[in-house]
Chain A
Amino acid sequence: MKKIFLMLGVAAAISSSAQPRLPKDYHWQKLDNGLEVVVIENHKVPLATIEIAVKNGAYTEGAEYSGLSHLFEHMFFKANKDYPDQAKFLKRTQELGAIWNGTTGTERVNYFFTFDKDSLLGGLKFMNAAIRYPIYREEDMQKERPVVDGEFQRAESDPGFQLWIESNRKVWGDLFTRKNPIGDHQIINTASPEKMMTIKDKYYVPNNSLLVICGDVNPQQAFSYAKNIFGDWKPADADPQIKYPIPDFAPITKTEYFIKESSIAQTPMIMMTWQGPDFRNDSIGTVAADVFSKILSLNSSKWQQALIDKGLATSVNVSYQTSRYVGPITINIVPLPAKMKECYLEVMNQVSQFDKDDYFTDAELARAKEGLKRQQVRQTEKPSSLASQLTYWWCSTSLNYLTDYYTAMDKVSRQDIQNYVKRYIAGKPYVAGMIINSDMNKQYNPGEYFKN
């Protein structure tokens, strides 16, 4: 079992030219310019999906660029040499009958289009124009800055986001910008075309990107199109991930609590965050984290029985986000207001038992694994979603990690889970936040007990 994880980690370091392991009907090539191309053959419906993912996002952003990977992603859809304004760009998406979007996360920026399979060539040319030949005009940026800021304001109107951002400032300290894709209002509203070009030159190069062609396609033809269209994309002299290293996140040094008042929060919410494992340093921990989270989601688990079955909370979710650079472990709780104190104390009681030998049964461990296996069947049900799933793992782990995940998951032992809990949760500093409206804060006074 250890061997498998060791292999995953090593493979990440040496995979620059080696053929990665891939699931059935997945095909991989690397072009001479370093662009990796994966074709996923799936003939369920007569559609093709194309996606380009770039290793960019919040983790590459220092304070002066906070939120600009996201603004850049918006500008992708604005103007380029073939479609010089957004009206023409949108018109082309309509001609292709395309469903499209882009997202910016912590460790990935991706762009994707789904259309009729016969539009594959046209779609790839369209993608090529947008990713390689964007046009940044000051007037376009003036219009797009408030759009991006408007997306930010929508998030800020939700108490869940307010709690998240306040918590994460404390969890990541000086490097918070590297975990916050939405960014900073001031930086977004003063962004210049020059900054866009800086991002493009640093990260939008073939040897930092992955092209996925997925759906009702012929792999040979798809690779041929990819080579003809993207083969002359000029690579960077050096791997951007090495040339622009990411600073290490400092560990949380002391447990911190806060209570934030918000008039929008009609019911309180609690978030607790620890710094968890990452792919670079503890591949086995990332998988053990998923299995442990799944165990805690089972109705029979001590966690669910103590909190949901007893009617103390509406939801109590424990999750881990797989990351290349320190993934967060998060507990999100929606307590019943009148039972908030009892709920919180029980949460702390449960967390204190996470590392005990008898915290879960062998049957629950087996049940969690069976559940995750079935989850795999569901995750691969929608062909057009396969590209985005693949690019997430490519950016935050490796293609081998994706392929070996369920084999590795099946081998996770009780000891692996205890190692994970002891290394990242039990007795470790964390950040605990609560968002609550003023009336409930006065009525229930959580400050009396929700503290260090």
Chain B
Amino acid sequence: MKNIFFCFCFLIVVKAQSQDNKAYDMTVNGVKVIVVPSGNEIVQVDLVIKGGVQNYSADKAGIERLALTALTECGTLKDDKNSFKNKLDEVDAQVYGSAGKDASHFQLNCIKSDFEKVWPSYVDALTVPRFDAKEFQRIKDEAINSLRRMESNPDASLQRMAMQVAFNGMDYAKFSSGTIESIQKISLQETKDYYKSLLTRSRIFIVVVGDVSKEDLQTRISALAAKIPQGKPFVLKRVSYVPQASTFVAKPKENATNYIMGVSSAPHPNTKEYYPATLASGIFYDKMFLEVRTNNGLSYAPSAYFSFGATPYSVMYVTTKDPDKYIAVSRNLVDKIKKEGFASDEVKNMKNTYATRQYYNNETNASLCFMVANSEVVQGDWHKAFTLKEDLHPVTPADVNQVFNKYIGNFTWVYQGDTTKVTPTLFTQKQTPPIAKDKKAF
């Protein structure tokens, strides 16, 4: 019934484990290791490489993802691709890489009793990848086909367009998955060289969620780290996004409905404004749902949220047959919030919702691992993954109103669908358009 966009996009860090098994960190052979005991039968390991899209130029977009894919899809010096993958299949273990805006991840997920057996493959993939030429061509072909598939998905296509238009000239305009043009040009040798320069102790940290002893981890990770060069110090750049005026770009597309996304600014997650913004984000979503969907029947999937990364931003999103009415309703809602502010019970209830969400996101090792890694990257402190409830507690309605008024301003709008159905000026004009009472929604 309710769409999942909110849950999916909302990168909120949350609480952690029971009081008995506290998380800790340690430095092993120059690598920071964060360990979270889980009390279950699963082990999740994430080697995080900081930097994301800051690590390469636009014409090389996709190179980091290709390199990480090659680690598991091209085999290692000890095992060719098939031998490597068959070993993992023996115990249904998952070893996989992914690349994002702020960091990349190379992960292992297995049953605890299989950890001993799977760990060597994980280490080999990281430290002695084969980069086989035939397999590399295969993963390039697949990457290009996946980009085409992504472009066929209306939400993925809209998201890419929004990032490209809003962050034009900035790092966030680059796609970790690359473009068809960039992937086609990337060679095996430059991918090998790139990976060699990327994997340095100065740029990585490791998160382990699972019941593995400290001594065992020290031994394993010490041996792993010994094979990784120190490298140059790395600091993630933090850049603000503040659109100077509202803009609108449309792309005609034969979708069955119209897809719209607006991007505005947001506070940095390592500042004190992060917590009021977190609450504002949740309440803004609820209000948008009520106004756009319940009261006006304009959309199945209205959404609004803040995204907190190295370049934080806020988003308004909808799919609708009546874009003009949508923008009038949503802009009037923003005006109303700015004028009246959020109510104290709304702030209180949203704190309750985040308390639930803390535990809810704490239920699997993979989601807990993601939260810890994300806190370390974007907030600069993994402990924040465990203290959200306490950190939200002192936030007042005035704090929430202040961040909302400060950051929700001009929007960079993108649109895919029937361009004859939309009036761009309603999105860009300074004056909030009135809501047409006589126009049917569908």
In the complex, whether B111 has a CB less than 8 A from a CB of chain A is yes
- Comparing A52-60, A155-163, A247-255, the segment that makes contact with chain B is A155-163
Task: Give how many A residues have a beta carbon under 8 Å from the other chain's beta carbons.
Answer: 72
Give chain B residues whose Cβ lies under 8 Å from the Cβ of A267.
Answer: 145, 148-149, 152
C-alpha gap A149/B299 in the complex (Å): 9
Contact among A98, A158, A381 with B356 in the assembled complex (CB-CB below 8 Å)? A98
In the complex, whether A351 has a CB less than 8 A from a CB of chain B is no
Contact among A86, A309, A378 with B42 in the assembled complex (CB-CB below 8 Å)? A378
* Known A-B contacts A144-B297, A299-B85, A377-B41; A334 and B360 likewise in contact (beta carbons under 8 Å): no
Q: A150-B300, A154-B154 are in contact. List 19 more A-B contacts (CB 8 A).
A: A73-B1, A77-B2, A94-B286, A97-B352, A101-B4, A143-B294, A143-B295, A152-B256, A154-B257, A263-B253, A264-B253, A266-B152, A299-B85, A300-B82, A305-B82, A314-B149, A371-B92, A377-B41, A384-B360
Nearest B residue to A381, CB-CB: B364
In the complex, whether B32 has a CB less than 8 A from a CB of chain A is no
C-alpha gap A385/B364 in the complex (Å): 11
Give chain A residues whose Cβ lies under 8 Å from the Cβ of B346.
Answer: 94
Give chain A residues whose Cβ lies under 8 Å from the Cβ of B149.
Answer: 266-267, 314, 334
- Min CB gap B264→A, angstroms: 24
Give chain A residues whose Cβ lies under 8 Å from the Cβ of B293.
Answer: 147
A264 touches B297 (CB 8 A): no
C-alpha gap A58/B141 in the complex (Å): 39
- Min CB gap B67→A, angstroms: 19
A101 touches B1 (CB 8 A): yes
A residues apposed to B, CB below 8 Å: 44-47, 73-74, 76-77, 86-87, 90-91, 94-103, 114-116, 142-160, 262-267, 298-300, 305, 309, 311, 314, 334, 336-337, 367, 370-371, 374-375, 377-378, 381-385
Nearest B residue to A102, CB-CB: B1
C-alpha gap A263/B418 in the complex (Å): 13
Interface-centre pick from A91, A95, A97, A336 (highest chain B CB count, 10 A): A97
C-alpha gap A156/B258 in the complex (Å): 12
Give chain B residues whose Cβ lies under 8 Å from the Cβ of A94.
Answer: 286, 346, 349-350, 352-353
Task: Give how many B residues have a beta carbon under 8 Å from the other chain's beta carbons.
Answer: 69
C-alpha gap A151/B289 in the complex (Å): 14
- Min CB gap B277→A, angstroms: 18
Contact among B89, B148, B360, B442 with A149 in the assembled complex (CB-CB below 8 Å)? B442
* Known A-B contacts A74-B1, A154-B300, A377-B111; A115 and B356 likewise in contact (beta carbons under 8 Å): yes
Name 13 interchain pairs, CB-CB below 8 A, sorted by A: A44-B39, A47-B359, A94-B350, A99-B356, A102-B2, A143-B441, A149-B442, A153-B255, A267-B152, A311-B138, A337-B148, A381-B363, A381-B365
Contact among B81, B86, B142, B256 with A156 in the assembled complex (CB-CB below 8 Å)? B256
C-alpha gap A335/B355 in the complex (Å): 45
Interface-centre pick from A77, A142, A152, A154 (highest chain B CB count, 10 A): A154
Give chain B residues whose Cβ lies under 8 Å from the Cβ of A311.
Answer: 137-138, 141-142
A159 touches B299 (CB 8 A): no
Give chain B residues whose Cβ lies under 8 Å from the Cβ of A142.
Answer: 297
Contact among B111, B154, B350, B357 with A157 in the assembled complex (CB-CB below 8 Å)? B154
C-alpha gap A309/B135 in the complex (Å): 8
Give chain A residues whose Cβ lies under 8 Å from the Cβ of B357.
Answer: 99
A266 touches B148 (CB 8 A): yes
Contact among A87, A99, A314, A381 with B360 in the assembled complex (CB-CB below 8 Å)? A99
